[in-house]
Structure 1
Amino acid sequence: MATNMSSVTENLRAALLRDFKEFYREPSLSRLDGLDRIYTQDIEFHDPVRSLYGRLAVKNQLRGLLSQAHSVQMICEDEQISDNSATLVWKMRFRHKKIKPNQVLESRGITLIRYTDRIYYQEDFFDMGSAVYQHIPLLGSVLRLVNRRIGG
């Protein structure tokens, strides 16, 4: 009997991670309700810019981000999965309506998620400088100058 329970748990975990990666592969405003089966209602979310508490806050944040983007694509390059957590290494490509709108920007990052039947904790790690700041005209020039001086 333990084997059957174990395989059910593995199947649920695999389905949850598949749904998570599928949503973020090409997130869109029309698919935001799909987050209801991925995140718990009291999801805790952190990234370099903000901390959010609750699925509604995550949906609202994504709604704002997606409305500012022409396109977003996340490619999962590697994953480490355990019984109640996973770490995903990813590359994100996006076109932002205000920051170099005709250019595809790219960022690399890592996401840590913790879950039971749904994800209750997510923390994203990525470099805001390479993802966004360096593409802002004046700020980007200053950052490149600082990087050159630090790098020698």
Structure 2
Amino acid sequence: MDKNLVENFVKVYQSLSKDNLETLADIYDAKVMFQDPLHIISGLENLTQYFANMYENVQSCRFEIESSHFAEQQIFLYWTMHFQHPKLKKGQTILVEGHSRLKFVGNKVICHRDYFDVGAMLYEHVPILGGFVRSIKNRAAV
């Protein structure tokens, strides 16, 4: 596995915005399969549309990559997402830790799976529901 693949992937993600979504084609295969706790998306065209919709709804979104690990044709990235959404946490920045598993074919990602706590990202910041989610998490931690 070439370390340049990781550097290129991270470079694209850290500069990604609604104005340069065409750069996704530099890192993803046309038949990419993307999955996170909320979505399953098949194909580069659908993934590009997903990102376009996401950037329309958030005030900002960036990823801080903390570490990367290689195994055969896979890369594991550990990150913190910093994002602001006008309807969550009064538009303040929300931090969500997570990781991604990337499978490559050649020099492009064919499978991208994200793992993160949806409660920390979304549910804890919704009025009324957030209090219930935090209460449940606190009880489960005891």
Given the two structures, how large is their TM-score scaled by the length of structure 1? 0.86
Range moving further from structure 2, 92-101 or 127-136? 92-101
SS at 2:19 equivalent: helix
Secondary structure of the 1:29 match is coil
Find the aligned partners of 1:148 and 1:39 in 2 and give their Cα distance.
39
Q: Deviations over 1:82-112 (max 9, x none)?
A: 3411000001101112213431100000100
Distance (whole Å) between structure 1 residues aligned to residue 100 and residue 13 of structure 2 = 12
Q: Which runs of 4+ in 1 moved over 4 A?
A: none
Partner of 2:26: 37
Contact 1:71–1:94, Cα closer than 8 Å, also in 2: yes
User: Corresponding residue for 2:16?
Assistant: 27
What are the Cα deviations for residues 8-30 of structure 1, in whole angstroms up to 9, with x where unaligned? xx6xx333322211122242011
2:122 aligns to what?
A: 132
Higher helix share: 1
Match of 1:4 in 2: none
Look up the match of 1:78. 67
**Match among 61, 67, 82 for residue 50 of structure 2:** 61
The amino acid of 2:103's aligned partner reads R
Alpha-carbon distance in structure 2 between the residues aligned to 1:101 and 1:26:
25
1:101-143 C-alpha deviation (Å, 9 max, x unpaired): 4311000001000112211011000000011110001110111
**Structure 2, unpaired ranges of 5+:** none
So what's the TM-score if we normalise by structure 2? 0.92
Q: 1:26 touches 1:72 (CA, 8 Å); kept in 2?
A: no
The structure with more radius of gyration: 1
AA aligned to 2:129 is L
The answer for unaligned runs of 5 or more in structure 1 is 1-9
Shift of 1:146: 1.5
